[in-house]
């Protein structure tokens, strides 16, 4: 897939988005130079957009397969480094695609809650996909926090508002740190650690916002 469009838009339109929403990004040094998953809280449609614009390097995203039903989005999303995932169960093709990107040294963005939370002050229940893929690809997960995106585009609103946003990256969490039990237990333990890391970054974001 030709990814020239993404390479043009990220340093141009992407930077304008960061300026317009006064996005402050902290602790980018925590994002490794090799393959890694960035896992954040999910409180607004703006979360993946601003992460795509402001990540230290180009980043791939899973996006719900229904978006590919639109002729325009089906053409656009792959050119912006997104790939489809069937929600509601394990999608082997999406897992293999993410694993390939990670083993090639790229970044992949995943929101462990799977959908936007009802309460911007609290994390929802996490799925184990981020930890499972990280273990499969042998790459770390970087917990990230978004604060302010719920004011930029609250749930139910169609158009964004200009509000300040803070993004914080935490220290990477490595799969090799989880050795007890079978794979299911290791995935559960890593998922819990990732969510604790996200929670800690939310607290830090509140201090910096």
CATH of the domain at 101: 3.40.1130.10
The residue with greater pLDDT, 4 or 103, is 103
Sequence-separated (6 or more) residues with CB below 8 Å from residue 184: none
State the Cα–Cα distance between residues 167 and 169, nearest whole angstrom.
Answer: 7
pLDDT-based confidence at residue 135 (cuts at 50, 70, 90): very high
Question: Which is more confident, 67 or 190?
Answer: 190
Provide the 3-class DSSP secondary structure of residue 173: strand
How much is the pLDDT for 187? 94
- In angstroms, the CA 141 to CA 164 distance is 26
Which residue segment(s) compose the domain that 191 sits in?
Answer: 4-208
Statement: residue 117 has pLDDT above 70: no
Instruction: Please choose, from the candidates 140, 154, 150, 153, the residue with its C-alpha nearest in 3D space to the C-alpha of residue 197.
Output: 140
Which of the 8 DSSP states describes residue 103? H
Q: Is the pLDDT of residue 192 over 60?
A: yes
CA pair distance 129, 112, nearest whole angstrom: 7
Tens-digit pLDDT profile for residues 7-24 = 999 999 999 999 998 999
| pLDDT class of 126 with cuts at 50, 70, 90 | confident
- Return the percentage of the chain with pLDDT > 70, whole number: 92
State the distance between the two ends of the chain, measured CA to CA, in whole angstroms. 38
Spatial separation of the C-alpha atoms in residues 8 and 169, rounded to whole Å = 25
Pairing state between β 165-169 and 141-147 = antiparallel
The angle at the Cα of 124, spanning 78 to 14, to the nearest 5 degrees, equals: 35
CA–CA–CA angle 167, 173, 177 (5° rounding): 170
pTM of the model: 0.91
More confident residue, 208 or 158: 208
Q: How many domains are contained in the chain?
A: 1
Assess whether pLDDT exceeds 60 at residue 120. Answer: no
Average pLDDT estimate for 144-148:
93
pLDDT band at 118 (very low <50, low <70, confident <90, very high): low
For the chain, give the mean pLDDT.
89
Strands 23-26 and 165-169: parallel
Q: What is the pLDDT of residue 149?
A: 86
């Amino acid at each position: 897939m030709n990814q020239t469009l993404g390479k043009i838009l990220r340093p141009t339109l992407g930077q304008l988005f960061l300026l317009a929403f006064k996005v402050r990004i902290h602790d980018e040094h925590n994002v490794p130079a090799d393959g890694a998953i960035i896992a954040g809280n999910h409180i607004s449609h703006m979360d993946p957009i601003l992460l795509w614009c402001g990540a230290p390097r180009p980043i791939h995203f899973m996006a719900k397969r229904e978006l590919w039903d639109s002729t325009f989005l089906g053409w656009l999303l792959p050119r912006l480094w997104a790939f489809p995932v069937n929600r509601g169960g394990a999608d082997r093709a999406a897992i293999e695609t993410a694993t390939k990107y990670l083993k090639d040294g790229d970044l992949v963005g995943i929101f462990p809650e799977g959908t936007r939370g009802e309460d911007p002050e609290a994390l929802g229940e996490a799925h184990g996909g981020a930890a499972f893929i990280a273990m499969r690809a042998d790459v770390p997960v970087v917990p990230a926090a978004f604060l302010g995106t719920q004011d930029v585009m609250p749930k139910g609103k169609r158009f964004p508002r200009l509000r300040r946003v803070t993004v914080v990256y935490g220290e990477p969490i490595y799969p090799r740190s989880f050795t007890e039990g079978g794979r299911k237990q290791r995935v559960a333990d890593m998922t819990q650690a990732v969510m604790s890391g996200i929670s800690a970054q939310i607290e830090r974001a509140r201090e910096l916002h």
